[in-house]
Amino acid sequence: MRNLFAKTVTALAGADERVVLLSGDIGNRLFDDFKAKFPTRFFNCGIAEANMIGVAAGLAMNGYRPFAYTIAPFTTTRCLEQIKLDLCYQHLPVVIAGTGAGLSYAELGPTHHTFEDLAILRPLPHMTLFCPCDPVELRLGLAASLTLSGPLYLRLGKKGEPALHPTPPAFRFGRAETLREGADLALLATGPIAAEALRAADLLAAQGITARVASVHTVKPLDLDYLGTTFATTPLVVTVEEHSRIGGLGSAVAEWLAGAEPRPATRFLSIGIEDRFLHQVPSQEEARRVEGLTGEAIAAAITRRLG
């Protein structure tokens, strides 16, 4: 999706001269087209992410719409205070784009794994957390981002993610989108891992279990109406995320559930990354296997839960 990110931002910049692109010295050649078309609106801010966020704030305060792009851990964990104070407190429309989130860069080790980003950004007021599951949502979300008045974190995978929406949905931040209907359980997935949730639904269907699958592309603000309906009509709800089980989508749903009146009797299962560092995983696929995040592992966990 990073190629589509570059292509879409370039198109947005052509239509809106407020769009500026900041990169933390990453994306070799990725932004060549943007740079060729809009040379004065591209800033390589160097390997200095804290500064890049502050610079984006200064540009946004003067009417520009900055997209600040680098690898997810460096544009989130590394510069959390700049995000909190420069962007959230001052309520500025900056898109923080984190590429290679989750286990996308599994082989690069814990320095490049990002499964705490949603947990640290979720408590920040004014923040929108957007995790598109596929290129369709990414394209729609990028266009919609220009209508926001505050900051948005865009959680990107790597490349080659398949389209999961057969037709473009009526996109809005904060609205979950059903990818597939089913009655026995609901899988609420966020980000490209939704492809594995769909695969799990396929495997469960072969056992006669039908699963609804939804893309919860916006982890903040959560689609509370969708949660309410889903918990009221489904006996089991399962969250699936390529993020720590602490602090991400599963936690957000559990927080809502803890305060829901009346308390649904629905069973709830949170599937995500365990509380540990992952060493020596040669690929994203292997890392997902280790963490039980493949379609097969998700289906097996659900079968076990259903007894």
Chain residues that interact with other proteins, rule: CB under 8 A = 20, 40-41, 43, 45-46, 48, 50-64, 66, 81-82, 85-86, 89-91
Q: What angle (nearest 5°) sits at the alpha carbon of residue 212, between those of residues 171 and 255?
A: 75
* Identity of the residue, 24 or 100, whose beta carbon is nearer to other proteins in the bound complex: 24
* Identity of the residue, 53 or 299, whose beta carbon is nearer to other proteins in the bound complex: 53
Closest distance to other proteins from the beta carbon of 39 (Å): 11
Adjacency order of strands within the sheet including 267-273: 177-180, 211-215, 185-190, 236-244, 267-273
Report residue 262 as tokens: 């009346």
Closest distance to other proteins from the beta carbon of 38 (Å): 10
* Identity of the residue, 126 or 165, whose beta carbon is nearer to other proteins in the bound complex: 126
Closest distance to other proteins from the beta carbon of 299 (Å): 47
* Identity of the residue, 94 or 133, whose beta carbon is nearer to other proteins in the bound complex: 94
For helices 249-259 and 224-233, the axis angle rounded to 10 degrees is 70
CA dist 198 and 108 (Å) reads 27
Closest distance to other proteins from the beta carbon of 236 (Å): 43
* Identity of the residue, 53 or 222, whose beta carbon is nearer to other proteins in the bound complex: 53
* Identity of the residue, 63 or 160, whose beta carbon is nearer to other proteins in the bound complex: 63
Closest distance to other proteins from the beta carbon of 202 (Å): 48
Closest distance to other proteins from the beta carbon of 26 (Å): 15
Report residue 183 as tokens: 């009655």
Closest distance to other proteins from the beta carbon of 89 (Å): 5
CA dist 88 and 122 (Å) reads 11
The secondary element (H helix, E strand) that includes residue 258 is helix 249-259
Closest distance to other proteins from the beta carbon of 130 (Å): 23
- Cβ distance 134 to 161 under 8 Å? yes
* Identity of the residue, 28 or 40, whose beta carbon is nearer to other proteins in the bound complex: 40
Adjacency order of strands within the sheet including 65-71: 42-44, 19-23, 65-71, 95-99, 152-155, 128-130, 218-220
Distance from the first to the final alpha carbon of the chain:
37
CA dist 53 and 161 (Å) reads 28
Q: What are phi and psi of 187, to 5 degrees?
A: -100, 115
Give me the count of residues in the chain.
Answer: 307
* Identity of the residue, 86 or 137, whose beta carbon is nearer to other proteins in the bound complex: 86
For helices 194-206 and 295-306, the axis angle rounded to 10 degrees is 50
Q: What angle (nearest 5°) sits at the alpha carbon of residue 101, between those of residues 148 and 48?
A: 75
